[in-house]
Each structure stands twice: as structure tokens, then as C-alpha cells.
Structure 1
Amino acid sequence: MQRRKAIKTIAIAAALAGGTASWGTALKKNRKGMSLNGNINHSVCRWTYGDLSLEQLCNMVKELGFAAIDLVGPKDWDVLKKNGIYSSMCNGAEINLVDGWNEPNFHSTLIKNYTDHIEYVAKAGYKNLICFSGNRRGMDDETGLKNCEHGLKKILAHAEKRQVTLVMELLNSKVDHHDYMCDHSAWGVELCKRLGSENFKLLYDIYHMQVDEGNVIANIRAHHQHFAHYHTAGVPGRHELNELQELNYPAIMKAIAATGFKGYVAQEFIPTGKTAEDRKQALKDAITVCDI
């Protein structure tokens, strides 16, 4: 028993040391100006760097060596185009995160909004348009699925014709978005199957799904054909992707790449740095950690 305990202790220590070393090595290379490998298409969510103007964020993105920003709507696309930055996940058609497709009372507004925005997205040369299930408000899973299916089918033909993908985000309902319906992969995957269209997929938010269900790599391997986009952040706290949080992002990125994924992985952590330079370095570090 003592021998087994000793072996186990040594193995745990080695694993911890290896994990720490991998983060440290990545960040050390990063600070030497390591170039990106091209296996992951990187992006960053606009709202997480809301202290910067969009022009400033575009300049930061270019300086860090990638060329996409998430969650930018039509009124700001001219700024992206001027800077050669791609709108990797468009928004602006949604009412909000809580009033979504699971509630028929919102369908008329959503159908009008999404019909218009599908056209905007297509004409701008973009591909992805975000959408949300909305909150439960006492609704059971099956009713929510039927309601979402019924409403979304009214705009899917238009999305298919214009080659725009509607992407429903998976959000956690334990910490950040209490009562949100599309809070587990299984529910979102079932909706994808019922709609049966390549123009409806899921945004697999790694942070949110670690909070609500865990088993991140296994779920990516099992359901990747339904995932059009990924978001990141550290767990717990939704902050930087460093050794102080629990997710092994290099391993997760390798699992994503192994599925043949060609879409975007967008950083959506909330930077904790007090200075603009600290926050810029946090994004630089996160991009390098994910750049397998």
C-alpha cells in the first residue's frame, strides 16, 4: 500500500509539473514573438474589450497576427472592412439573450429581424449569424424544442438560399444565464437534428459547457458536426486562459483541430489586467495557448 501511494504521489506531481510546464513554455514562446501556426482560425469577442474603440481593437488584432472579431453588427462592419478584419460571428438580429426562439410570442419579431439580417450578412460576404433559445420561464425541454423548430423553419430556407448559417449559442444556466434553455449539448444537438439543415448549427462555448456539463473533449468528438463555432474563457471566473483555471486549452484545441474544423475559435474571456498593455498581453497569451 505504501508503494502504491508513493507511485500515485509521484505520478500526480509529474502530471502537475508537466501541465505547468506546458503553459509556461507556451507563454515563454509567446513573449518571444512566436508566429501563429495556422491550424486554428482565431477571433476575439468585441464586448470583452469594450474599453477600446472598434478601431483600436482592430489594430490590436492585426498586431497580434489574426484577422477576425466576433459579435459585431451591421452598423460597424464598415470599420472591420476598412481594417481588413472579418466578422466571424455576426449579431444584431436577436431581441436579447432571454427572449428567444422557444417562445412563440417572439416569433413574429424574430422572423422579421432574422430575415433582414440574413440578407445583410450575405451581402456583406459573411457567413454566421448568432441566435438564442431564450429562457425557459417554466417551459419543459420538449415544448421548447418544438417551438424553436417551428419558428426557425420559417427562416431556414432563406438562410440556405443566402448561404448564411444560423448559430445558436450554448450558455450555462448555473452561473451566468439562469433559466436559459439551450444549456446542454444534448438539447442543442437534438434541435439540430430536428431542423436537419447545414445552415443551422451550434456555438459550443467551452466555458459555459464546462460549467454546466463538463466532459468537453468527449462532447466535441461526439457532436462536432453540429458545432459551427467555439468560444473560450477560463473556468471558474471567465477570465484569462492561464494555469490558474481548470481547462486544458491546448488539449481542447487539438481535439477541435482533429475533427477537421475550419471555422473560428473566439476568445471570450474577461481580462483582469489593470492596464491596457496587461489586457493586450492577456489576449496575446490566450491566442498562443490555443494556437496548437
Structure 2
Amino acid sequence: MASQQNRRSAIKNIIAGGAAVASAGALSSFVSEKSTMPLKLKGNINHSVCAWCYKISLEELCIAAKEIGITAIDLVGPAGWPTLKKYGLHSSMCWGAEINLTDGFNDKKNHAKLFENYSKMIPMVAAAGYTNLICFSGSRRGMDDETGWSNCVEGLKPLVAIAEKNNVIIAMELLNSRFDHKDYQCDRTPWGVELVKRINSPNFKLLYDIYHMQIDEGDVIRTIQNNHQHFVHYHTGGVPGRAEIDESQELYYPAIMRAILATGYKGYVGQEFIPKREDKIASLKQGVQICDI
């Protein structure tokens, strides 16, 4: 999730553009020939990329992903799934049932709408051949932890039962409340893990966003080692600033990827940094290469 940018609006813009076929000329004007030379990936990490970070059509992103060796796109809803299927790409973290990032499962007034949205979306995710569907806690608005956990359990339990029948995993994202999403309740790993334990189902887990958790709690590798069984997906991002994940920022991603791999993780790692360089796809390719341990 980016600071001062509505990811939902960005996704809608990408999906809207995804219906148009990108011409070879249009793509080459955005991506240099050098940046799209295929990588020789090692096959240890399943690579994905978040669609909202790139101000290009979904079709263009799919073409670039295929050329790089990325096999999935994160945060795409049903309108974009045909485009992913056209290019043989997986929807690694589905999106579109949430209300927004501030109105989530921790507030009972949202439960009816969220039940309506998720009870419709879960079977759609399963029918499309996908597994993961994102959700959010919502903002605290003065709410204590116990009330937040209790309300989330009440709202999520009926949906998790539907998810179990459809072999879908509902994943609550951990977001930082220090900078990007002030007042967000599921802002630290212990809070999310406690919720996972209370729901007590293999079909409810956490999306561990490395960028967000570095900001709010740090100690990333130890956290992964101690809590990996509760994580179903990972996102990257450079700290500070959510830019490229190279030597310009404070995290050393090869070591983090080795820690993830050592847990036996078989899911996807999604690049969710916002490229600052002119050749954005070159930055994406570099990020994949850094994480391809």
C-alpha cells in the first residue's frame, strides 16, 4: 500500500486499461529493449508483481511480466482475470471484495456489506482457479485490541466457513500505522497472529508486507522464522520511501528471501515497490533478480 495514493483507484485504472491490447510500439516506448531481456531464474522463489504500482495497462504489465519471468500478478479483480489468463499468468492475491482500507472487519457496522461482498467473491475466486483473497482490519478509531479481535472474528468466521468449502484462503494484510496508514489496526505481526489463532482455520492467514512491517516493528527475518506458518503471501518494498529494493534502501532482500525459502514456503513473493527510475520495468526486473536466490 503506497503513501498518499489510493491503491483501489490505481487498480481500477489498470483494470480499465487492461481490456485494450497494447501495441508493440506502445510497449517498446515504455520498456527499453535491455530491460525486457528474459532472466534466467533459479526457480526457488515464485515471483509476482502488484499491478497498482505501474501506471500502464494490465496488458502491458502482463507482457513485461512474461518477458521477465514473473508468473503471477497481485491485486487484480475479476475484470482483469481474462487478461491474466490470456498471458498464462496466475492471480496470486485476488482483490475486489473489500470496502476500503479503513472500513474493515473490526467494525460491526461493516459486517453486512462485507459478508455480501466476500460471499459472492469467494466462489468466483475458486471458479477462476485462484486461492488467495485479500481483506483488511480497518482503522481503530479509538477501538481497543480486544474489541477489534472480537469484531473481526465475528465478521470473518462465517466467511471463512465459505472459504473452506471453496478452498480459498482469506488473507488479512499487515499495514504500517506509523506512516502510510495511520490508525490501521492490524499493524503488527502479534496482532494479526492473535487473530489467526482465534479464527483457527487454515483458510485464514496473513499477508506479510515486508515494507510495512519494517516500518512498524523491524526484526523482519526473526519474525518470518517465528511466524511463517501464519503467512500465506509476502510483499516487498524499499524502506524508506517504497522505492526500488536495491542498495539504496535499508533492507537486504537476498537474506530475507533466504529466510522465507528456509521455512519451506511455496507461495508467491510480490514486488510492491513504486519505481522511481524512468525505466520502471528495468527496476522491476532488477527487483526480481535481487529476490531470485
1:67 and 1:186 map into 2 onto residues whose CA distance is: 31
Instruction: Determine whether 1:178 maps to 2:182.
Output: yes
Residue 46 in 1 paired to residue 47 in 2?
Answer: no
TM-score normalised to structure 1 length? 0.87
Q: Tell me if the contact between 2:244 and 2:276 (Cα under 8 Å) persists in the aligned partners.
A: yes
2:7 is matched with: none
Task: Quote the offset at 1:67 in angstroms.
Answer: 1.3
Structure-to-structure mapping, 1:49-198, within 5 angstroms: 49=54, 51-198=55-202
Please state whether the residue corresponding to 2:206 is helix, strand or coil.
strand
| Amino acid of the structure 2 residue aligned with 1:185 | T
Counterpart residue number, 2:281: 280
Distance (Å, rounded) in 2 between the aligned partners of 1:153 and 1:53: 36
User: What TM-score does the superposition give when structure 2 sets the normalisation length?
Assistant: 0.87
Q: Is the 8 A contact 2:92 2:132 kept in 1?
A: yes
Structure 1 residue 206 corresponds to structure 2 residue 207: no
Provide the residue aligned with 2:290 in structure 1.
289
Which structure shows the bigger proportion of residues in helix conformation?
1
Measured after TM superposition, the shift of residue 155 of structure 1 is 1.1
Q: What are the superposed Cα offsets for residues 181-218 of structure 1, whole Å, 9 maximum, x if unpaired?
A: 00000000000000000000000000000000000000
Give the % identical residues: 62
**Contact 2:53 2:275 (8 Å CA) reproduced:** yes
- 1:283 to 1:68, Cα distance in 2 relative to 1, 3 A: same
Matched residue type, 1:168: M
SS in 1 for 2:122: helix
Matched, 1:37 2:42: yes
1:242 matched to 2:246? The reply is yes
Return closer, same or farther for 1:31/1:286 CA change in 2, 3 Å cut-off. Answer: same
Q: 1:264 aligns with which of 250, 265, 268?
A: 268
Between the aligned partners of 1:141 and 1:174, the Cα distance in structure 2 is 17
Looking at structure 2, the residues matched to 279 and 220 of structure 1 have their Cα atoms a distance apart, in angstroms, of: 29
Q: Give, in whole Å, the separation in 1 of the partners of 2:92 and 2:275.
A: 21
Larger radius of gyration: 1
Q: Structure 1: which 5+ runs fail to align? A: 1-29
Report the Cα offset of residue 266 of structure 1.
0.1
Q: SS at the partner of 1:197?
A: coil
| d(CA) in 2 for partners of 1:157, 1:242 | 41
Give 1:258 shift.
0.2
Gaps of 5+ in 2: 1-34
Structure 1: distance between partners of 2:70 and 2:255: 21
Deviation (angstroms), 1:154: 1.3
Stretches of 4+ moved more than 4 A in 1?
A: 30-34
Task: Give me the whole-angstrom Cα distance separating, in 1, the residues matched to 2:139 and 2:226.
Answer: 26
The 1:80/1:32 distance shift into structure 2, 3 A limit, reads closer
| CA RMSD, 1 decimal | 1.2
* Counterpart secondary structure, 2:48: strand
Residues 115 and 159 in structure 2, CA contact (< 8 A), matched pair in contact too: yes
Task: Report if aligned partners of 2:174, 2:209 keep a CA contact under 8 Å in 1.
Answer: yes
C-alpha displacement at 1:76, in angstroms?
1.0
Quick one: which amino acid aligns to residue 44 of structure 1?
V
Residue in 2 that maps onto 1:10: none
- Look up the equivalent residue of 2:53 and give its one-letter code: T
